[in-house]
Structure 1
């Protein structure tokens, strides 16, 4: 599965531009009065201006980086934004089942971003790490009322299956290492510090499903 675009709501597009372009160095693909788009490798990160002032943002997304450059990516990120530690003070994490290293950060709106080096991918490089090393958006958080029901829907509708055939009632990653729908029960606290609760928020996800078809998802569970 490949995530082509995620579109999240934000209260201020100038803040988004300052952080994502000015801070992280992401190229601006386009900007209007209502939305701004950034290039993240092979994906697009879009922020839509919240004109209602009612969206309390708590989105989660992850960006793939070269599998051999986790420490370089972490150092690059830490120069630009504080990293989020877990309750024990650790700010880098190894997921044994996924064979991946990750670190986390907040954007100006309280969303949790993640850089993840998946060692199961063939993405090693010797190039110096920069914003051009960000490969693609590989995860988007999907809070739902019924995780297992959404798993069934994803299988029937898009041909997507739980990653590594693992699923539970409060957390299931759907897809593969190129693109995952991180499906969690609404209210579950996001990793790594357990301070942000997952909530159902307006969003748009454009992805290429297991059948090679383009799908636009705007509602889930």
Structure 2
């Protein structure tokens, strides 16, 4: 599974544009009064203005080359404060054979940079910049209908990681392990690691494999659309 585009919403649109484009150095692809798009490797991240009182936040991850994890961490520390878990500012996931670190952006999104040693390529670069990011590799899909949506995704040919069973009360990684990109399907009120925030339902849109669009409204209603359907 490839995540082509993710559309999120923000109450701090101007701060987000400044942060991602001017401070972190991501390439600006489109810019209007209502939102902007940046290039995240092979993916596109769109941030749109949120017009309601709530302040949306999400968790998403970006894959980075396997040999640039330490360089990426030092690059990030020069620009943001890394968040911590058990007094550590990075984590190794043995199940995924991956290292990751986290920080918060101006909207309060929990942003993760992750090196997946089994599936992500190396880079010829000797230093790190935003242009070395490979793709958006994770985006949360928070819903009150975890099993229903999990089954719908599997009906569209998107499996759970390593054919793991869908857990209604836990976090489910939807996508092929070998591709290194996942939808994080789970319920509300789960604490995101490396943060004090709990998962909540906010509107978003995700395009995967250039043919499937997943839309979530502010009430958690899901709509799946496949090209030519």
TM over 0.5: yes
Structure 1 regions of 5+ residues with no counterpart? none
Take 1:98 and 1:136, find their aligned partners in 2: how far apart are those partners? 17
Asked whether 1:217 is paired with 2:218, we answer: no
After TM superposition, give the deviation of residue 122 of structure 1 in Å. 4.5
After TM superposition, give the deviation of residue 11 of structure 1 in Å. 1.5
1:1-221 to 2 correspondences below 5 Å: 1-52=1-52, 54-86=53-85, 88-127=86-125, 128-156=127-155, 158-167=156-165, 168-169=167-168, 170-176=170-176, 177-193=179-195, 195-208=196-209, 214-219=211-216
Q: Contact 1:147/1:183 (CA < 8 Å) preserved in 2? A: yes
Q: Contact 1:94/1:100 (CA < 8 Å) preserved in 2? A: yes
Q: Contact 1:58/1:196 (CA < 8 Å) preserved in 2? A: no
Aligned CA RMSD, in angstroms, stands at 1.4
Which of 147-156 and 56-65 deviates more? 147-156
- TM-superposition CA deviations, 1:89-119 (whole Å, max 9, x none): 1010011111111000100011100000001
After TM superposition, give the deviation of residue 214 of structure 1 in Å. 0.9
Structure 2 regions of 5+ residues with no counterpart? 223-229
Relative to the length of structure 1, the TM-score reads 0.91
- TM-superposition CA deviations, 1:167-209 (whole Å, max 9, x none): 433111000343200111111111123x11111101111111x
Take 2:161 and 2:133, find their aligned partners in 1: how far apart are those partners? 22
> 1:56–1:12: structure 2 CA closer, same or farther, 3 Å change rule?
closer
Relative to the length of structure 2, the TM-score reads 0.88
**Alignment size in residue pairs:** 213
Take 2:107 and 2:119, find their aligned partners in 1: how far apart are those partners? 31
